[in-house]
Amino acid sequence: MKTPFTRFLTRWLVSSLGLWIAASFLSNSISYDESLKVIVVAGLTLAIINSVLKPVLIILSLPVIMYTLGFFMIIINGLTVLIASTLYSSLDVTNFWAAIFAGMVIGLVNYLVTAILEEPRT
C-alpha cells in the first residue's frame, strides 16, 4: 500500500466487503436489494466519508474518545455507516444499533486486511 490511490482503493474494497458481511449477518436491519452494485457504490460512499469526514469527527470528539479509552470510536464508525446510508438511499440501515454493528464488522475487516497487506518493518 504505497500510493494514496492504492490505499483509497483498498479502503473502498474493505468497506464494500465489510458492508456485505455485516448485511449478511443483519439481513433484517441492513438491506441492499441483493445487488453487488449497491454494495460497491455504498462502499465507495463509505470510503469517501472515512477519508474526508471521519478525521474531523475524531478531532471534534477527541476528549470523549480519550475519556472512554477509545470505545467512542465504535460510535463514530456507526455514525459514518448511518451517514453513508443517508447519502446513498439504496443502502438501507434501519437503526443505529445495526449501523454500530456494521461499523464494528467493517473495522474488523479493515484491521485484518491491513495486517495481511502491510509490509513488515525491519
**Domain residue limits at 38:** 8-117
* Count of domains forming the chain: 1
Q: Is 102 inside any structural domain?
A: yes
pLDDT of residue 52: 94
10-48 residue pLDDT tens: 889 999 999 999 999 988 888 888 889 999 999 999 999
Q: How many CA atoms does the CB half-sphere of 55 hold within 13 Å?
A: 4
| pLDDT for 122 | 65
Question: Could you tell me if residue 70 is inside a domain?
Answer: yes
In a domain, 1, yes or no: no
Locate 93 and state its grid cell. 440501515
What angle do helix axes 72-87 and 36-60 make, rounded to 10 degrees?
A: 130
Mean pLDDT of 64-78: 95
Q: Per-residue DSSP letters for 2-47?
A: -SHHHHHHHHHHHHHHHHHHHHHHTTTTEE-TT-HHHHHHHHHHHH
Phi/psi at 30 (nearest 5 deg)?
Answer: -125, 120
- For residues 48-54, average pLDDT: 93
Q: Is the pLDDT of residue 1 over 70?
A: no
Mean pLDDT of 55-84: 95
Give pLDDT tens digits for 76-103.
999 999 999 999 989 999 999 999 999 9
pTM equals 0.88
- The answer to whether residue 122 is domain-embedded is no
